[in-house]
Amino acid sequence: MPELIAAAPDVPVFICEGEKDVDNVAALGLICTTNSEGAGKGKWTADLNKWFSARQCIYILEDNDEDGRRHAGEVASNLQHIVDKIHIVSFPELPVKGDVSDWLEDMGGTKEQLLARAKAGPCWQRMATFWITIDPITAYMGGKLDSHRATDVRGQLGPLAELAERMDVALSAITHPPKHATQRAIDHFIGSQAFIAAARIGHMTIEEVSEDEYGNKTPTGRGLFTNPKNNVSRKMSTLAYRVVEKPLDDGIKAACVTWEEIVDITADQAVAATVPAHKERGQQSDVIIFLMNLLAGGAVEMKTIEDKATERGFTIEQLRRAKRKMGIVAFKQTGTMEGHWFWALAQHAPSTEAKEREE
């Protein structure tokens, strides 16, 4: 440890599996260290990483057996975000369980040869992020939670996001669009808006259609891979793709995606293109979905609902028709002289509400 701390940042450090190996490598005039108790799962503990924060290059000398390779990989994984260059140095010419000490003593290895072997070895590739897919995400939510209630969704997805960050994995949540979604692509993520709000990136696949001179829409046979949401960067371009059959070596055919050109169309435009010409943007099903999403988390002031509806192009009459159809409860705020009117889904309405005024 004293030699490791005293060494300049650009001096390479050798990490061995055992103390005997450290003594033999250090005797060559090289900076060398190890963890206690040798190889084994969890033997390299996280508290050791701090001693390598200023290192520019390390060489991990791997024992020639499965335990040795596994241990070398564990050390490299622990240090991959701390040290710029990591090399795992192997000795495949040795018998099973052979190590660097055997190479030095039995095969006459020298300092110059060890340095040459270390530098010639491949650089450790940073571990690719694991990708876990949950399909569908609603199956993860459990039966007791309301997937249309924002607080329920956030309460379930929050710990999931923390788990992904702690384990350094990416989570891909799959969902299917509702049957009567609006022409906004962001509304095609089923359930509460909290589902897509919790995600950093949202993708959506949409069937590509073409329209003839009479307004008839027909599928082109391609799909469009769109990006309705992207918190990390600008939204990516829409890509066209086809699902085709690809023959395998044993004669079996498997489905395969082939990517084609970039298409100059947004996710919203792609969704709108699939809607038949006779369906207007303000159709009643759109209003119902709008209200369901808005009220999923609880009561909302009527003035806020009307303002948001106006922004979406819905009329007050459309709102009222949808309200009656959905059984939405209107009630007045109590405990104040200027109580405001609120709308809520039946399950979120207070048990005793002011009598609704028909306007």
Q: Which residues of the chain have pLDDT under 70?
A: 125-130, 143, 178-182, 191-192, 214-215, 275-283, 335-338, 352-359
Q: How far is CA 337 from the centre of its chain?
A: 48
Q: Which of 142, 147, 136 is nearest to 194 (CA)?
A: 147
Residues 30 and 132 in one domain: no
Rounded Cα distance, 308 and 291, in Å: 10
Mode of pairing for the β-strands spanning 31-33 and 13-15: parallel
Q: Has residue 76 been placed in a domain?
A: yes
**Residues 109 and 134 placed together within one structural domain of the fold:** no
Q: How long is the chain?
A: 359
Considering the domain architecture, whether residues 132 and 181 belong to the same structural domain is answered as yes
C-beta atoms surrounding 230 within 10 Å = 14
- Per-residue pLDDT tens digits for 252-269: 889 999 999 999 999 988
Burial 257-268 (b: 16+ CB within 10 A, else e): eeeeeebebbbb
The count of domains in the chain is 4
Dihedral (CA of 302, 304, 310, 312) sign: negative
Q: What is the domain range of residue 192?
A: 128-199
Strands (E) across the chain are located at: 13-15, 31-33, 57-61, 85-89, 130-134, 169-173, 201-211, 217-230, 238-247, 253-263, 300-301, 329-332, 341-344
Distance of alpha carbon 11 from alpha carbon 21, whole angstroms = 19
> What would the two tokens of residue 111 be?
């300092």
Domain contains 271: no
Q: 82 and 35, same structural domain?
A: yes
**Per-residue confidence (pLDDT) for residue 337, from 0 to 100:** 63
Looking at the fold, whether 38 and 145 belong to one and the same domain comes out as no
Number of other CB atoms surrounding residue 167 within 10 Å = 12
Cis peptide before 136 (omega within 30 of 0): yes
Q: Which tens digit of pLDDT belongs to each residue from 213-256? A: 766 788 999 999 999 998 877 888 899 999 999 888 778 889 99
Amino acid identity at 89: V
Residue 274 lies in a domain: no
Name the token pair of 352. Answer: 């005793």
Same domain? For 208 and 157 the reply is no
280 dihedral zone (left: phi>0; alpha: psi -120 to 50; beta)? beta
Using CA atoms, how far apart are residues 13 and 172, in angstroms rounded to an integer? 38
In a domain, 354, yes or no: no
Same domain? For 146 and 195 the reply is yes
Helix (H), strand (E) at residue 68: helix 66-79
The whole model's pTM is what? 0.47
Final residue before a domain boundary, out of 199, 227, 246: 199
Is there a contact between 198 and 161 (Cβ–Cβ < 8 Å)?
yes
Residue 340 lies in a domain: yes
Same domain, 304 and 323: yes
Cα angle: 93, vertex 97, 100; to 5 degrees: 65
Q: Which helix (H) or strand (E) holds 105?
A: helix 100-106
Residue 232 placed within a domain: yes
In the 8-state DSSP scheme, what is residue 179? T
Q: Where does a domain end: 96, 120, 144?
A: 120
For residue 193, is it within any domain? Answer: yes
Same domain membership, residue 35 and residue 62? yes
Looking up residue 302, the CATH number of its domain turns out to be 1.10.10.10
My answer on whether 102 and 16 are in the same domain is yes
Last residue of a domain, one of 60, 93, 120: 120
Domain CATH number, residue 61: 3.40.1360.10
Give the strand order in the sheet containing 253-263.
201-211, 217-230, 238-247, 253-263
Q: Verify that 80 and 28 share a domain, yes or no.
A: yes
Identify the burial level of 166 via C-beta atoms within 10 angstroms of its C-beta, where 0-12 means exposed, 13-18 middle and 19 or more buried: exposed
Contact of 58 with 49, CB cutoff 8 Å: no
Is 240 part of a structural domain of the chain?
Answer: yes
Give the list of residues 6+ apart from residue 250 with CB closer than 8 angstroms, or none. Answer: none
d(CA 57, CA 97): 26
Assess whether 55 and 88 both reside in one domain. Answer: yes
